[in-house]
């Protein structure tokens, strides 16, 4: 491959900081620059009758990030309230599309 993207360990039990609205300014980041602001992923889960559209490649199994059954339904704002949002994307500065 031309590009290799390495993912950090995703520890579901780790205590991570909450990203507040003030954090965005402190970190000089914009929520609109996060991949989930403009990208979606379609997944077809085993046993499901139809695919689902999810907000993030890191969270395909978290129901709060399931955005609907169609791209049109999924075009709504995403709340960045998952521990992976904080550790991997916001604080880590990573992007799955890097």
* Mean pLDDT, 10 residues at a time, the chain of 98 residues: 72 84 90 87 92 90 90 89 86 74
Domain ranges of the chain: 39-98
Round to whole Å and give the CA distance between 5 and 35. Answer: 14
Query: What SS3 class is residue 58?
Result: coil
Give pTM, 2 decimals.
Answer: 0.74
What is the three-class DSSP state of 43? strand
């Amino acid at each position: 491959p031309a590009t290799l993207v390495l993912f950090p360990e995703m520890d579901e039990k780790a205590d991570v900081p909450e990203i507040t609205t003030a954090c965005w300014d402190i970190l000089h980041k914009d929520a609109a620059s996060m991949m989930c602001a403009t990208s979606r992923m379609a997944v077809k889960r085993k046993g499901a009758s139809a695919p689902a559209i999810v907000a993030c490649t890191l969270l395909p199994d978290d129901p709060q990030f399931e955005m609907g059954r169609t791209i049109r339904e999924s075009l709504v704002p995403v709340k960045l309230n998952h521990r992976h949002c904080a550790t991997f994307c916001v604080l880590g500065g990573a992007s799955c599309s890097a």
